[in-house]
Amino acid sequence: MRDTNFLAENNAKQIWHPMAHPADMRANPPRVVMEGQGAHVTDLEGRTVLDAVGGLWNVNLGYSCEPVKAAIAAQLDMLPYYSGFRGTSTGPSIELAWELTQWFEPEGMARAFFTSGGSDSVESALRLARQYWKIRRQGDRTKFLALKKGYHGTHFGGASVNGNANFRRNYEPLLPGVYHIPAPYTYRNPFDETDPQKLARLCANALEDEIAFQGADTIAAFIMEPVLGAGGVIVPHESFMPLVRDICDRHEILLIADEVVTGFGRTGAWSGSRLSNVKPDMMTIAKAITSGYFPLGATLISGAVAEVFEADKSSFGSIGHGYTYSGHPVGCAAGVAALAETRRLKVNENAAARGLELATALEDLKAKHDLVGDVRYKGLMAALELVSDRSTKKPADKGVMKRVSDAAYEAGVMLRVSGSNIILSPPLILTAEEVQTIGEALDAGL
Ligand code: PLP
C-alpha cells in the first residue's frame, strides 16, 4: 500500500462515499481506518479507539478472528472462485447452506439462496415472493407492504420498501404498488400512543386496514425488520410480530423478516423473529454471516414456500435470478468459520448480558443530559435520539450530532450518526469494561 501521506492527500478525492454528499466528504474527509484488533480500530494518525459501530452492524466477532482469516486463506489456496449457477456448485456453499438451515430450523427455514450482501438478499426475497404467487396462479399478488422507518437496502426493490425519504427521494419513481404503515415507534407516532403494547396493536390495525383497502389478493408480501435498525433502533413490543404473523396468515400474505442486522445474535437471540417465536416465510441475512470478513448474504426460504417452487411442473418455478457471486466459495468458507465461532463464543448470550449493562448506562445518560430525547436498545443494538428541546422533541441539528461524535472519538470511542440518532452496534465480543468505556465517551460527547 502507498504511504500515509498519499492516503491523507487523496482521501475522498476519487471515492464517492455511500450515504454522503461528495462535497461534504471533500470538505470534511472521513477518518481512514487502517487496522483492527479485537473490538478496536486504529486510524491513519495512529489513534486507536473502541469501535462502537462494529464496522457497520456486522463485525460481531471483532477484528482478530483467526479461524475466519484462516478459512479464507485456505479456501483462496484451494479454489478462489467457481460459479453457483446451474450445473456447478462448490463445497463451502453446500456446507454453509446446510449450516444455515440447521441454525434457523426453529424459524422454519429450509432452503438458502446465496447473495453478495443485504440489498441483494432483500431484492431476491421480493422477487421470489412475486414468483411464488405466479406459481400459485395468483399473479395479481404483486404489491408489497412495509413499515415507515424500515430500512431494506438500496436496490430499486429495497429502496421501494424503505420507509425513509432520505433513501428514496433522489431515486424516484420507485417500484409501484408499495405501501407503508406506521412503525411501532413509541417516541414519535401518529397515534400519540406511548404504551408499546397498545401501539403495537394500533400499528397492526393499520396494517389490516391497508390490506382491506388494497385488497389482500393484490398483495405479495409484507417485509419488516424484527427490530428496526437504521431507522433508529426502533424496538417493537414483543406482541407486534405475532400480530403481524396472524394478519399475514389470515390474508395469505407472505411475511419476509429482514434479519440483515438482527440475524446471528445482535438482539440477544439468534434471530429477531425468535425473540417472539415467529416463523416468517422468508428471512434475509447478510452482515454477521461472515462477521464482515467477506461480502455475503442469503435469502432463506421456509419449507412451505420451498415446496410450492419444488412441486411446480411449469416454467414458473425456475429461478431466473442470481448473482455471479451467489455462493462464492471464499465467502461461504468465511461463513462456515464465522458461524462456528459465533456458536462457540455464544455471542448471543454476551449480547444479552452486555446489552443490559449498556441499557443502564444509556438510561443514566438520558437522566443526566437534556440533549437526549429518547434511548432505545435490544441486546447490543442501541440508539440515542438527540433533541434540541425535550418538550417539542425538535431533532438535534447536524452540527450538534457532529460535535457529539467528534468529542466521543476524542474520548476513545467511534460512534455512528444517522440523522439525529447516535447508533451503537459494537462487536458482540464486547467486555463489561468496554461497555463502561462507551458510556464514558458518550457522557463526554454529550
Ligand atoms: N436490510 C437491513 C435491515 C439493513 O440494515 C441493511 C444494511 O444496513 C440492508 C438490508 C442492506 O444491506 P447491504 O448494505 O449489505 O446491502
d(CA 412, CA 193): 38
What does the angle CA 406 – CA 411 – CA 414 come to, to the nearest 5 degrees? 55
d(CA 222, CA 150): 12
- The secondary structure of the chain in percent helix, strand, coil, rounded to multiples of 5, reads 45, 20, 40
391 CA to centre of ligand 1 in angstroms? 33
d(CA 255, CA 244): 8
178 vs 65, 157, 248, 291, 429, CA distance in Å? 41, 9, 16, 32, 38
Which conformational region is residue 263 in: left (phi greater than 0), alpha (psi within -120 to 50 degrees), or beta? Answer: beta
d(CA 299, CA 319): 13
- Test site for ligand 1: of 56, 58, 124, 151, most ligand atoms within 8 A of the Cβ: 151
d(CA 83, CA 319): 15
Q: Which residue has the cell 446465496?
A: 114
d(CA 58, CA 287): 5
- Test site for ligand 1: of 126, 152, 166, most ligand atoms within 8 A of the Cβ: 152
Q: Which residue has the cell 441539528?
A: 397
54 CA to centre of ligand 1 in angstroms? 14
Report ipTM (2 d.p.). 0.99
Ligand 1 pocket at CB < 6 A: 117-119, 122, 151-153, 225, 229-230, 258, 260-261, 286
- Test site for ligand 1: of 261, 285, 294, most ligand atoms within 8 A of the Cβ: 261
Residue 40 C-beta-side C-alpha neighbours within 13 Å: 10
pLDDT at 63: 98
Q: What are the φ/ψ torsions at residue 393 (nearest 5 degrees)?
A: 60, 30
Q: Which three cell numbers stand for residue 14?
A: 476519487
d(CA 56, CA 243): 30
d(CA 253, CA 223): 10
Using DSSP, how many helices (H) and how many strands (E) does the chain show? 15, 16
Give me the helices (H) in 2-116, please.
4-10, 22-27, 54-57, 66-78, 91-103
DSSP sequence for 138-178: -TT--EEEEETT----SSHHHHHH---GGGTGGG-S--SSE
Residue located nearest, by CA, to atom 1 of ligand 1: 152
Start-to-end CA span in the chain (Å): 37
Residue located nearest, by CA, to atom 13 of ligand 1: 118
Q: Which residue has the cell 462464492?
A: 328
d(CA 159, CA 152): 7
Whether the CB-CB separation of 385 and 421 falls below 8 Å is answered with yes
Q: What are the φ/ψ torsions at residue 402 (nearest 5 degrees)?
A: -70, -40
pLDDT at 315: 87
Ligand 1 atom closest to 287 (CA)? 15
152 CA to centre of ligand 1 in angstroms? 6
Per-residue pLDDT of the chain (446 residues; tens, 9 = 90+): 889 999 999 999 999 999 999 999 999 999 999 999 999 999 999 999 999 999 999 999 999 999 999 999 999 999 999 999 999 999 999 999 999 999 999 999 999 999 999 999 999 999 999 999 999 999 999 999 999 999 999 999 999 999 999 999 999 999 999 999 999 999 999 999 999 999 999 999 999 999 999 999 999 999 999 999 999 999 999 999 999 999 999 999 999 999 999 999 999 999 999 999 999 999 999 999 999 999 999 999 999 999 999 999 998 999 999 999 999 999 999 999 999 999 999 999 999 999 999 999 999 999 999 999 999 999 999 999 999 999 999 999 999 999 999 999 999 999 999 999 999 999 999 999 999 999 999 999 99
pLDDT at 85: 96
367 CA to centre of ligand 1 in angstroms? 32
Domains and their CATH numbers in the chain: 31-61+346-445 (3.90.1150.10), 69-342 (3.40.640.10)
Nearest CA among 320, 324, 326 for reference residue 131: 320
Q: Which residue has the cell 467511534?
A: 414
| Cβ count near 87 (within 10 Å) | 6
DSSP class of residue 188 equals S
Ligand 1 atom closest to 259 (CA)? 3
Strand bridging mode 381-389 / 421-424: antiparallel
34 CA to centre of ligand 1 in angstroms? 24
Ligand 1 atom closest to 297 (CA)? 15
pLDDT at 1: 82
Helix axes 303-311, 118-135, angle to 10 degrees: 60
Ligand 1 atom closest to 228 (CA)? 3
Long-range contacts of the stretch 386-393 (C-beta < 8 A, 24+): 386/420, 386/421, 386/422, 387/420, 393/187, 393/188
